[in-house]
Structure 1
Amino acid sequence: MAVESFSQDTVSNLVPRQSSRRSHTLFVALQKEIVLGILAPDRTLTELDLAQRFGCSQGTVREALMQLNEEGLVKRQPNRGTRVAPCPADDARALLNLRREVECAHLDRVVARTDARLVADMRALLDGMRNAARDGDEYALSVRDRAFHTRLFEAADLPLVTPILTRCLIHAHRFKILNSQPNRALSETAERHLPIVEALEARDRARLHDLLAHHIATIVDFGPDLTGGPTEGET
């Protein structure tokens, strides 16, 4: 019988778990490789190969691949196996527009529910991004970045919408990473979240809207505004 040979870490604990501990840890490991492009788009993945590589059972692999399929990072087809999903620009553009609508349309609810605990959580996640940037850990930075935006939106108390945002976030980050140049601006990526925290702490809804809209529309060190035009408050 295969023996599980990988373990959880702090990053794994930040990713919401929807399966057993062992398959979740494998899910996070594979998610990392897909987001960073180590497992390239359209690459074939087999349960047997992954089980041998990670020293786990094929059942554990199957469960992890099912979760990746639900997240849109792989495509599982009957009798045709599993492939890493593509990451086209048209999808990224549509998801960025959807993300901006989700994050920016409910800020009245967010501001109304802002308290010291929310601000403290946001500052802690910002510090985590800074630490990841300092360590040159792009995946850890991405996980904490996604957790930052998810935590902010959770204050709106719209739990049926949150999964839509989390899907937008993972694919936006993957698209950015796959299309960025080497020596990406990790510190700048972390620090651009500071004004968002400050606007939230001030309960300044208008500034928070403008900052988030600009933040979403522009991708650090990739460049273009993929949403197709200026955001509110921009010229």
Structure 2
Amino acid sequence: MSGSDVRSVVRLSKQPSIRDTVTRALRSAIISGEMQPGRVYSAPSLGEEFGISATPIREAMLDLVREGLVVAMPNRGFRVTEVSAHDLAEVTELRLFLEPPAVEKATPLIPETAFAGLREQADEIVAAADRGDLVEYLTADGDFHLAILQYAGNARLLALIQSLRSQTRLFGLSSLSERGHLTESAKEHHAIMDAIENRDAARARALVHTHIEHVLDEWSGPVSDEQGAAEATTR
């Protein structure tokens, strides 16, 4: 991905912390495949594209090193890690074990006062899909799911799920967007909210289970091995 491509997919919004904003944007760009597996990105070049100094970029990248999304390359920058089909299958299996029951637990505990905010987040996911903004789509998607899961009341579980979501790769989203199908997938979040507002915990669990299964279906794209993961983003 060229510098101009990075600038087009990562849109910095006004946030209390520029470091947090950059971290979230870069994380989503990696998960979506906009930042290519195996490629080395330098903090100064990314900072130049974003119109900010290299410092918050470097700090954000160090956060992503701890998440396993990039590897620090001394005197060069940061290399985006590759995820094999086997890795993705393992991550998805773990997510299926953890997220649906956590949503089921959270559903009766979410206060009605939180419904409007969660519904607005679901709307943001659909809006991003309509625009074809994959980075914002994944950022909003992560915010929505983690906002729900926090009501399960298990901070360690929340951190683990967040880590697993970061290890996912969704290269197929670009193809879905190009075919005009991403909005349809995005609307699954409205169905999840319907179940939550109706206090139908079993349905919320089933919908999230199906939602995650899409990772190994149309969302992940043609990832067969580590090399295939890299090639999938350059075709």
Normalising by the residue count of structure 1, what TM-score does the alignment of the two structures yield? 0.75
Q: From 170, 176, 179, give the equivalent of 2:166.
A: 170
Alpha-carbon separation, structure 1, partners of 2:112 and 2:199: 11
Alpha-carbon separation, structure 2, partners of 1:55 and 1:188: 34
**Segment drifting more, 150-159 vs 183-192:** 183-192
Task: State the one-letter code of the partner of 1:159.
Answer: A
- 2:13 match: 9
Higher relative contact order (CA 8 A, sep 6+): 2
* CA 1:7–1:210: 2 relative to 1, 3 Å: closer
- 2:226 match: none
* CA 1:45–1:99: 2 relative to 1, 3 Å: same
Measure how far apart 1:24 and its partner are.
3.1
* 1:107-126 map, 5 Å: 107-126=103-122
- 1:135 match: 131
Task: State the one-letter code of the partner of 1:68.
Answer: L
Q: Does the 8 A contact of 1:71 with 1:167 survive in 2?
A: yes
> Mind listing any 5+ residue stretches in structure 2 that lack a counterpart?
1-9, 224-235
* CA 1:25–1:150: 2 relative to 1, 3 Å: closer
- 2:72 match: 76
Alpha-carbon separation, structure 1, partners of 2:45 and 2:67: 21
SS in 2 for 1:174: coil
Measure how far apart 1:81 and its partner are.
5.0
When Rg is computed on C-alpha atoms for both structures, the one with the higher figure is 1
Measure how far apart 1:33 and its partner are.
3.5
Equivalent residue pairs, number: 212
Normalising by the residue count of structure 2, what TM-score does the alignment of the two structures yield? 0.75
Measure how far apart 1:130 and its partner are.
1.9
- 2:30 match: 34
* CA 1:23–1:148: 2 relative to 1, 3 Å: closer
Task: State the one-letter code of the partner of 2:22.
Answer: L
SS in 1 for 2:105: helix
Which structure's residues are more often helix, by fraction? 2
> Mind listing any 5+ residue stretches in structure 1 that lack a counterpart?
1-5, 227-235
Measure how far apart 1:30 and its partner are.
3.0
Q: How much identity, in percent, do the aligned residues show?
A: 26
- 1:47 match: 43
- CA offsets 1:68-101 (integer angstroms, 9 cap, x no match): 1122221125577521111222121111111122
- CA offsets 1:17-70 (integer angstroms, 9 cap, x no match): 8xxx34334334433442343321110123343344445444333212101112
* CA 1:170–1:189: 2 relative to 1, 3 Å: farther
| Residue 210 in structure 1 maps to residue 206 in structure 2 | yes
Alpha-carbon separation, structure 2, partners of 1:206 and 1:36: 30
- 2:56 match: 60
SS in 2 for 1:193: helix
